[in-house]
Amino acid sequence: MQQHFHMAVWIDHHEARVFSFNADQSDKLVVHPEHPVRNIHHKANSIGSGHAAEDQDFYDKVAQHIRQAGAILVAGPANARIEFIKHLRSNDPALAQKINTVERTGRFTDAEFLAHAREYFSRHDRMTPLL
């Protein structure tokens, strides 16, 4: 995967789609957890919340692929995006600092998400002062 300054991650508990891009080019990588989360129903009179633990290895794999980015957009429909950010803040604060925004979104096609990410960074980059 070619590394560009801007990267975008669409993440849920089943996959992470990682895009590295500039205005003209893009590369995509899909990362899957080793043990995808399935719906777990809580049984009456049982111990525990009925929720599966977050897959920290999955978040580590995603982090590995975005490490070289300069600016990152993270999006997704559910709690996975929030858990991913918490994981980065705890385990890789320097990488967490590169996250520009975290957005709650629905499902996108790859082309729609890439267009959304390009539009976001186009607006953001114009607002960021040059040092």
Per-residue pLDDT of 86-129, as tens digits, reads 999 999 999 999 999 999 998 899 999 999 999 999 988 766 65
Give exposure, 55-79, as e/b (b: 16+ Cβ within 10 Å). beebbebbbebbeebebbbbbbeee
Question: Does a structural domain hold residue 92?
Answer: yes
Has residue 73 been placed in a domain? yes
In a domain, residue 82? The reply is yes
Residue 46 lies in a domain: no
**67 pLDDT exceeds 70?**
yes
pLDDT-above-90 percentage for the chain: 67
- Runs of H (alpha helix) within the chain: 56-66, 80-91, 93-96, 110-127
- Please report the pLDDT score of residue 11 as a whole number: 97
pLDDT of residue 123: 87
- Would you say residue 99 lies in a domain? yes
Q: Average pLDDT of the chain?
A: 86
Task: Establish if 26 belongs to a structural domain.
Answer: yes
Question: In which domain, by residue range, is 90 found?
Answer: 6-32+53-127
In a domain, 76, yes or no: yes
Distance CA 85, CA 40 (A): 23
Token pair for 86: 């918490």
- CATH number of the structural domain spanning residue 67: 3.30.420.60
